[in-house]
Amino acid sequence: MQKKEMLDKLRYDIINQDICPDLRKQATNLVFGSGNVDAKIMLIGEAPGKNEDLSGEPFVGAAGKLLNELLLSVELNREDVYITNIVKYRPPQNRDPFPEETVQFLPFLKKQIEIISPDIIITLGRHSMNCFLSNQQISKIHGIPRKMKLNVNKLQNKYKEIILIPFFHPAAALYNGGLRDSLFLDFKKVAKYLN
């Protein structure tokens, strides 16, 4: 099967298995992921907001615009990367995803990683970082790349070697100049990995 078919199947599995039915009932669209399925860089956010829910695409609102600027600052654009979120339906009023919602979507995120097979995973925000690294503070480890063996398929005991780079969430930087500067600096610092 081609990557696109595998991703389509995964998308239908989320619907057919009725993952997070309460979120699904309130959502307009399932926001699965977008970008280059052969990308070496995969970015993982938290959950869709209003604009993403309406369009069905991740990071198309204000945080998405800042993300585009960050990518451009290291000479990348959306076609060079694949972008998704942990939770694929918008939480009401943009609240943080509940831990049980993250738990329900995690096997699908891992499968998505297995299909895209990136070399580098960039987590955006602490919720996304916590899916890969527990008991860490984003304020201490943002912008620091680390090698990881990711167990993408527990049943088949499959591991994928990746470089994980935790970044602050662009939404948090929209109204905080210090965080915004930090994000641009972090992108510059790891540009050699990204390019």
Residues near ligand URA (CB under 6 A) are 45-49, 52, 58-59, 63, 85, 171
> Closest distance between ligand URA and the C-beta of residue 94, in Å?
8
Closest approach, Cβ 141 to ligand URA, in A, equals 19
For 134, list phi and psi in degrees, rounded to 5: -100, 160
Considering beta carbons, is residue 6 or 54 the nearer one to ligand URA? 54
CB within 8 Å of 96: residues ≥ 6 apart: 46, 127
Q: Alpha-carbon distance 23 to 19, whole Å?
A: 9
Q: Which amino acid is present at 136?
A: Q
Burial class of residue 70 (count of CB atoms within 10 Å of its CB; 0-12, 13-18, 19+): buried
**Helix or strand (DSSP H, E) at 83:** strand 81-85
Least Å distance, CB 85 to ligand URA, is 5
Q: Which is nearer to ligand URA, 46 or 186 (CB)?
A: 46
Torsion of CA 70, 44, 101, 129, to 10 degrees: -90
Whichever of 59 and 108 has its CB closer to ligand URA, that residue is 59
Please say which residue, 133 or 153, places its beta carbon nearer to ligand URA.
133
Closest residue to ligand URA, judged by C-beta, is 45
Closest approach, Cβ 35 to ligand URA, in A, equals 12
Q: Residue 124: how many CB atoms within 10 A of its CB?
A: 26
Minimum CB separation from ligand URA for residue 48, in Å? 5
Give 59 or 89: the residue with its C-beta nearer to ligand URA: 59
